Amino acid sequence: MSWVAVTAAGAPAAEEAAACAPNGTDLAIVASDNKFDRDCLAAPADQAFTIELDNQDSGIPHNVSLYDTANGDKELYKGELISGPGKIAYQVPAQAAGKYEFICDPHAEFMRGTFIVG
């Protein structure tokens, strides 16, 4: 007998974690304790969008960059580094529909998540 973790709604937990859908062009994310506050962001396809980064880590530089890691780590957008505490709004050009990754470049090994364009 095999077990699958499910959410209260009855959907497999992994499926819910991966479910992240576009809801407008103004996105926001917080960096605190060398972690992002979410593991998925989403934007509509073929529309420019904004990502506001709120870096709450005093004296530590963070950014948000987008990569197509499934196709050779192709850089789609590289956000400017900002040392905390501070905020920056990235104006990101329109992207093609797909599943990508968002990454903090200086901390790529542990600050990353899924980026859905759809």
Give the CATH number, domain containing residue 64: 2.60.40.420
22 versus 12: the higher-pLDDT residue is 22
pLDDT score at 59: 97
13-71 per-position pLDDT tens digit: 444 445 699 999 999 999 999 999 999 999 999 999 999 999 999 999 999 999 999 99
Is there a domain that residue 3 lies in? no
Identify whether 48 is part of a domain. yes
pLDDT at 115 over 50: yes
Count the domains in the chain.
Answer: 1
Q: Cβ(56)–Cβ(82) under 8 Å?
A: no
Identify whether 28 is part of a domain.
yes
* 4 located within any domain: no
5 in a structural domain:
no
Whether 6 is in a domain gets the answer no
Alpha-carbon distances of 46 from 1, 4, 9, 100, 105, rounded to whole Å? 45, 36, 32, 14, 24
pLDDT, mean over the chain: 88
Whether 90 is in a domain gets the answer: yes
Range of the domain at 59: 22-117
pLDDT exceeds cutoff 50 at 11: no
Measure Cα distances from 40 to 7, 58, 80, 102 in Å: 18, 24, 20, 8
Q: Is the model's pLDDT at 109 over the cut of 60?
A: yes
Q: Is residue 7 part of a domain?
A: no
Question: Which residues on neighbouring strands pair with residue 94, listed in sequence order?
Answer: none
The per-residue pLDDT for 32 is 98
